[in-house]
Amino acid sequence: DFDVAYFHSYAHVGIHEEMIKDRARTETYREAIMQHQSLIQGKVVVDVGCGTGILSIFCAQAGAKRVYAVDASDIAVQAKEVVKANGLSEKVIVLHGRVEDVEIDEEVDVIISEWMGYMLLYESMLGSVITARDRWLKPGGLILPSHATLYMAPVSHPDRYSHSIDFWRNVYGIDMSAMMQLAKQCAFEEPSVESISGENVLTWPEVVKHIDCQTIKIQELDSVTARYKFNSMMRAPMHGFAFWFDVEFSGPSTVNQKKRTNPSDALVLSTSPEAPPTHWQQTIVYFYDPIDVEQDQVIEGSVTLSQSKENRRFMNIHLEYSSAGRSFVK
């Protein structure tokens, strides 16, 4: 039932419009396809969660012999029409169904997918990419993107806090501070998807999880735990932690050893506060009350991201943090 609702949400055109209009996202994928054209030309590709079919069409334009465009949402009906309108029905085969259920009667050379959710792992679509890999990908085949990294860092965001909370101190001359506790719960109970800038970030980020799409197993996605230790670079109120991710488009190490030994050469799509904005923005876990930190103050603890038992597409976040002798759990 949860999956029915999830796929139904992707039948709405607005969600695809937002993704396609995200130029950083769409143009980086097209650039990655062209950069790896030698590995796509004349080869068989599967596009996991193809949506409107735009990535499948890019692969066909790059010379793919055949592209299986798979989507469980009803948007697959429109994808089929888009493929037809572009004269690619012979090359791009749209399969309406889940990757776990559809049948492809040959091995594939390439898997492409835009599977990343907010905070990288929300929606758990990476599991479908892993399933496609294990079902159809030839050994040493290409997966785009090839790697993903989730980062976190403490942030200070006084404007957001005052906009949502301090506003209640004086409302048209009336003291409504009795509303502040409820306002904090409503504003900061759940993670917030919004854009911040590098100026909001108090420290260098730390890696929460690095993913190699060639080797990761589905079981690894059940729960991810990381310990962290930050040193504040300035004196400021700390309002919470921000999370963002990068994905990297590298060729298989056997084909392109140089690129793997120097990942800085690889094409990267970043959702960092320093990067051009994307529809993923950043994900922020706010505290109910800020913590004042001094320069060089240590902030340490652990974060656990686990798939919800009720709905695997949802994610539970357990955050433990301590600073200056005080410990907290969120």
Catalytic site positions: 114, 123
Please tell me the distance from the alpha carbon of residue 70 to that of residue 322, in angstroms, as a whole number: 45
Residue at token pair 């990381």: 226
For residue 241, give the amino acid letter.
F
DSSP β-bridge partners for residue 177: none
Q: Look up residue 275 and give its two tokens.
A: 């990067």
Short-list 153, 269, 279, CA closest to 204: 153
Cα–Cα separations (whole angstroms), residue 56 to 47, 62, 95, 269: 6, 10, 12, 19
Rounded to whole angstroms, how far apart are CA atoms 102 and 163? 48
Distance CA 150, CA 211 (A): 9
Q: What's the number of CA atoms in the CB half-sphere (13 Å) around residue 161?
A: 18
* Coil vs helix vs strand at 170: coil
